[in-house]
Amino acid sequence: MGGDLEYSKIVLRDPFDWTGLEWMQNEQLTFVCHPLARSRPHYIHPCGFPLSEIMVRLPTFSAREYFYDQEGNGTAQQASMFMRPHSDPIVSYYYPKATGQYHYGERHPMKPHRLTLTNTLVIGYGLHKKMDHFFSPRPATQEELEEYHDPDYIDFLRRVRVGSALVKEGQDCYNFGEDCPVFEGLYEFCRQYAGGSLVAARKLAQGTTDIAINWSGGLHHAKKAEASGFCYVNDIVLAILELLRYHPRVLYIDIDIHHGDGVEHAFYHTNRVMTVSFHKYNGDFFPGTGKLDDNGTGLGKYFSLNVPLQDGIDDESYVALFKNVMGPTIQSFQPSSIVLQCGADSLGCDRLGAFNLSINAHGECVRFIKDHNIPLLVLGGGGYTIRNVSRCWTYETSLLLNTEVPEPLPDTPFNHFFAPDHALHPKIVKKVDNLNDSKSLENIRVSILEKLRYLQGAPSVQMQELPPDLAAWMESEERNSELEKERDRDTIMEDVPSSSRPFTLETPRDPHKAKNDYFDDSADQDKEEPSTPAGSSTTGKTNNKGKATRGRGRGRPRGGAGVKRGSTARRGAKTPAKEREKEGSVSGQLSAKEGSESESEEE
């Protein structure tokens, strides 16, 4: 093919659109025949080019005699004709195994089985093949749950069993009851859905995924030390705390029909997390919070935004208000990541809901947030008509994957749940009155925009690198601090007489020093004693010159006043005074005996 030629491929988006490729006829190009040219001659351009794909051998500059101006042919062309558009976002899907097998109770509206239906539809449509990662994450540990929740509360969740005496304690102390019953496997259920949200948040924080989905999470009512609204562990707060380790600002958006009071309460005093909740509010609807004037306090003033709505809001009103509120909010707060809670009880015909939204409108809110191209954590939440919940979350999964799915549902073992229509978008919009007039919705929009003006731009956050194991690092720092205090105390007490010290100075023995090796001059116990007057008792045998020899025992201490740091007396040793008295008597007897022996020799 020659060293002066380079091969290039041009892929046509439209086989019948040759706009912008006329310049190829003016160049000295060699075209390689496409394989389809032999079998499908109608795929060939009149000039002889295959329409779907063109292999071109372009002459390099070195193959030309001189560099020349290509005039109009050298101008920049539309890039989309020669390269693919920007790569699709990396999507990770988290499905904790067996979460759909738990059961709150026979008449309880919360049905974890909706998660099984959702994942069955996702796999039935083949959406799992479009995902970059399809995980079954590990359960959260007790230590991870205690990053936000009270340790006593987590310990109670771990120990409580159906029919045990602890059930009464849960009713008295932790708000257990009809809404939050004790059921079999409660603690494992909490660990599993919280573990999915934590792993998803870590993937986002590490930059290994762009969109993370965990439909089992989103339980936004749980408080620090109590259960609430079918929620026991607030996985959203745990995930946001994980994101805050790496991201300066996190935006939380809640489109559940119930106010996200647990998440708002957790971050009510900070400006690093902005919470925005679209919910029903009339003072009596659970949980009874989320007024338009609830804006945060202290440093978090105006960082908690609430959009209270009335019954029967329709698609057009809801989507328009959502975009008019969230667009300026994202622009003002400039979040590093977004957590989106997609509670499906805001759909029409929900067992506990009162809105009149379709699956298309609910999904349009998800698509709007996704199009901002900010790291996104998508969670589940409420939703109590499970056949509609699973359809909604399946459709939103396809939106997050930029994949279109057909209207007929795939064949699954749960076909009877979706009878009689077996469609992805059933008619769930009812003919109910919309109590949200245009004036009230405009007042809400204006009020939210006025609060955003007080932000005065996105808050700055000073970030610093943290070690991987923060808890172990903090414990090590505490131990080092205590050791420093002990060293300072010992240094001060060295100058205090031993009789006045309230304690004995003891330090760990140097492992590199032999037990009988006192080479430190300051602590040497083998120095010669000064000479003593005649007639007095000595601590060792005397020679003819009257000088004292080395004492007995190389490691024996020489009295309380002479105790040095690191040279404490051995266990069971006598006191210095009694020891000196005994040594003196023994040395006196030895001196008398030596004197009598010398006299007998002279005789």
What DSSP designation does 408 have? B
Instruction: Choose among 100, 281, 235, 105: nearest CA to 177.
Output: 105
Q: What is the pLDDT of residue 495?
A: 57
Express each pLDDT in 155-202 by its tens digit.
999 999 998 989 999 999 999 999 999 999 999 999 999 999 999 999
Confidence of residue 33 (pLDDT cuts 50, 70, 90): very low
Q: What is the pLDDT of residue 431?
A: 79
DSSP 422-453: -BSS------------HHHHHHHHHHHHHHHH
Residue 221 designated active-site: yes
Express each pLDDT in 416-467 by its tens digit.
999 999 999 999 988 788 999 999 999 999 999 999 998 877 777 776 665 5
Q: What is the pLDDT of residue 392?
A: 97
Express each pLDDT in 43-81 by its tens digit.
444 444 444 444 444 444 444 444 444 444 333 333 333
Confidence of residue 217 (pLDDT cuts 50, 70, 90): very high
Close Cβ partners of 414 (under 8 Å, ≥ 6 residues apart) = 116, 117, 120
Q: How far apart are CA 453 and CA 527, in angstroms?
A: 82
Express each pLDDT in 477-531 by its tens digit.
788 888 887 777 666 655 555 555 554 444 445 554 444 444 445 544 444 544 4
Q: What is the pLDDT of residue 430?
A: 84
Q: What is the pLDDT of residue 584?
A: 45
Out of 97-106, 204-213, 243-252, 583-592, least confident range: 583-592
What is the Rg, in whole angstroms, of the alpha carbon atoms belonging to the chain?
Answer: 40
Query: Does this model's pTM top 0.75?
Result: no
Close Cβ partners of 246 (under 8 Å, ≥ 6 residues apart) = 205, 206, 463
CA geometry: angle 406, 425, 256, nearest 5 deg: 125
Mean pLDDT, residues 90-94: 96
pLDDT exceeds 90 at position 405: yes
Catalytic residue chosen out of the listed positions 221, 247, 258, 362: 221
> Can you list the pairs that 30-35 forms with residues at least 24 positions away whose Cβ atoms lie under 8 Å?
30/5, 30/56, 30/57, 31/55, 31/56, 31/57, 32/7, 32/56, 32/57
